[in-house]
A and B are shown apart, each in its own frame.
Chain A
Amino acid sequence: MLRRATFFSIIGPNGAGKTTLFNILTGVYRPDTGYVTFNNKRISGMAPHHIAKRGIARTFQNIRLFGAMTVYENVLIGQHPHIRYNYLDAIFGTPRCTRAEKRAQEEAEQLLDYMGLSARAYDLAQNLPYGAQRRLEIARALALRPKLLLLDEPAAGMNPQETDELKTLIRRLRDDRNITLLLIEHHMKVVMEISDRVVVLDYGKKIAEGAPAEVRKEPAVIEAYLGKGAMGNLA
């Protein structure tokens, strides 16, 4: 259960099944058992592009931008399901087509501005520095106008300054856009400072859930992260 406009984090050791959970939510994998509902609609079994259209967007652990396209085009791709005109409109350049394209362009520009990427809008995505590529992945995901945004280790590989900027950015996202966020992150500082609730996974099972401060004290969590003996040492 994920409540609207809250900020959930998923943590757990490597191989705990965090990214697998994202893949199930976005339709890349089908669950063997159980199912996923979104806004009271069952979405497991749907094709990924249908789920994306319903408002679940994501970023990736290892960046998967369209590297040979410009920053601006990457954002326009995210808007794909929302640009509505047919091929006759395009061939004859009807007002509907021009309007739709213009709206898409304005929205893309706003998003780039919001994410601080305007200056590099016409660079190829692959030529951006690492931190900017991470921000572009979020911008592309936002272009889908998601109700639920899944961020897969957004702080991975970032330096402390970039991590701080990311934290500010994520807070702003929740406040400005009323988006529900689901975050996978190893960076405990990020998780503890910005999540409303934390879920801990290990070997594909949920071993704890609660507010960040509670979860941190949970014995099962400490054990999963540090091994059995650690409890004794801490106590």
Chain B
Amino acid sequence: MSDALLELLPSVLLEGLLLGCVYAMIALGYTMVYGVLGLINFAHSEVFMIGAVAGVEVYRYLGPHIGNPYALALTALVVAAGVSGLLAMAIERMAYRPLRARGSTNRLVPLITAIGLSFFLQDFTRLIEGLWHGEFYMNYPANEQMEALHELPLGMAIQNKSILVIGVTIVMMLALDYLVRKTKLGKAIRAVAQDASTASLMGINPDRIIARTFLIGGALGGVAGVLFGLLYSQINPFVGFIPGIKAFTAAVLGGIGNIYGAMLGGLVLGTLETLGGTYLFFMTDGAIGNEYKDIFAFIILVLLLLFRPQGLLGKTQGEKV
């Protein structure tokens, strides 16, 4: 039996990597917003969901006109990134900025606002989809070319769409890294994250930088939505919740506020969860099955945070007295 488990390992790792890509892309949105505002934007899971829905609409309306499945997927990705990015920016403008402008320093008020928004966006999407198409369960249509398998060494096989998911994730992460490290906007984002009031005395408008941060984080969430749809096909207005919570977990796991932590945390969580789900089943002779993968993921989180509360890449700040 151990031979069978070993044989399975590479494919399970690949599966975990794909899930991890999705988690990582969502986690970036949480962590970037936390970085500049110190706020957990719980509505981000809905930004992700609406990205997935926007992608479905692209498939529905442009699918018949765009023959090439890659071109279609890229169109869906771009549209979803735009829709989700603008939505995240609108959320910040309408829900969070007014609270900041009134000088509320209470962290709980925006948190409750975020939870309320989250429910609102779920039901709003259900309403719109219901009125528009008569139902709110949606599918990313299967495509032969996208599902085609490539043989890899070690008994692995990878689908074209999985290559696309990994490729898009790598490109987005490299682009984000470049943006944050090298560009003027990236430096301003880091400056605002460290000390917004000093940044404003250097001629940086913090509100503008915060809006841009939401735009970027939202766009990444939208991309994640389409990748999720490509991988798992079925989506609905409530599909954001579990991946959202997992991605938030991944952000904390990596060290909240640290974008490399979010990338790493997402990949680690996706891999551990898939590994746990598969092997628990075998090791307990089917008594504990794949349905316990979430518990497995969170046990890992609790254990890790007990020993490293700052997360994998987070730094402990020695308080200067």
Contact = CB atoms under 8 A, between A and B. Distances in A.
Interface string A33-62: 000000000000001110011000110100
Contacts of A231: none
Interface centre among B184, B203, B204 (most CB of A within 10 A): B203
Nearest to A82: B203
Contacts of A76: 184, 187
- Interface residues of B, dominant DSSP: helix
A149 interface: no
A58 B197 CA distance: 12
Interface in B176-190: 183-185, 187-188, 190
A67 interface: yes
A29 to B, nearest CB: 11
Contact of B190 (A28, A47, A60, A68): A68
Contact of A66 (B183, B184, B185, B191): B191
A112 to B, nearest CB: 16
Contact of A77 (B183, B197, B202): B202
B205 A69 contact: no
A28 B197 contact: yes
A12 interface: no
B121 interface: no
B201 A77 contact: no
Contacts of A80: 184, 187-188, 202-204
A101 B187 CA distance: 13
Given A67-B194, A68-B190, A77 B204 contact: yes
B145 interface: no
A42 B198 CA distance: 22
A211 interface: no
B104 interface: no
Contacts of A78: 202-203
A113 to B, nearest CB: 20
Contacts of B203: 49, 52-53, 78, 80-81, 144
Contact of A47 (B191, B199, B200): B200
B147 interface: no
* Residue among B184, B200, B202, B204 having the largest count of chain A Cβ atoms under 10 Å: B202
A78 B201 CA distance: 9
B98 to A, nearest CB: 16
Contact of A48 (B190, B191, B194, B201): B201
A66 B195 CA distance: 7
A140 B194 contact: no
A48 B200 CA distance: 6
A69 B187 CA distance: 9
Contact of A69 (B183, B184, B194, B200): B194
Contacts of B198: 60, 64, 66
A125 B185 CA distance: 20
Contacts of A52: 200-203
B291 to A, nearest CB: 42
B191 A77 contact: yes
Contacts of B200: 47-49, 52
A123 B203 CA distance: 24
Contact of B184 (A49, A83, A140): A83
A133 interface: no
Interface in A182-211: none
Contacts of A28: 197, 201
Contacts of A57: 201-202
Interface string B190-226: 1100110111111111100000000000000000000
Contacts of B205: 47, 49
The interface centre, meaning the residue of A73, A77, A81 with most chain B CB atoms within 10 A of its CB, is A77
A140 B183 contact: no
A76 B194 CA distance: 15
Interface string A112-147: 000000000000000000000000000010001000
A53 B190 CA distance: 19
A84 B199 CA distance: 17
A120 to B, nearest CB: 18
A81 B198 CA distance: 14
Contacts of B195: 64, 66
Contacts of B191: 66, 69, 77
Contacts of B183: 90
Given A47-B205, A76-B184, A77-B199, 16 more contacts: A28-B197, A48-B200, A53-B203, A57-B201, A58-B201, A66-B190, A66-B194, A66-B199, A67-B194, A77-B191, A77-B202, A78-B202, A80-B187, A87-B185, A144-B202, A144-B203
20 contacts: A26-B201, A28-B197, A28-B201, A48-B201, A58-B201, A66-B194, A66-B195, A67-B194, A68-B190, A69-B191, A77-B188, A77-B202, A77-B204, A78-B203, A80-B187, A80-B188, A80-B203, A81-B203, A81-B204, A87-B185
The 9 A-B pairs at the shortest CB distance, nearest first, are namely A81-B203, A52-B203, A48-B200, A49-B205, A64-B198, A49-B200, A53-B203, A66-B194, A77-B191
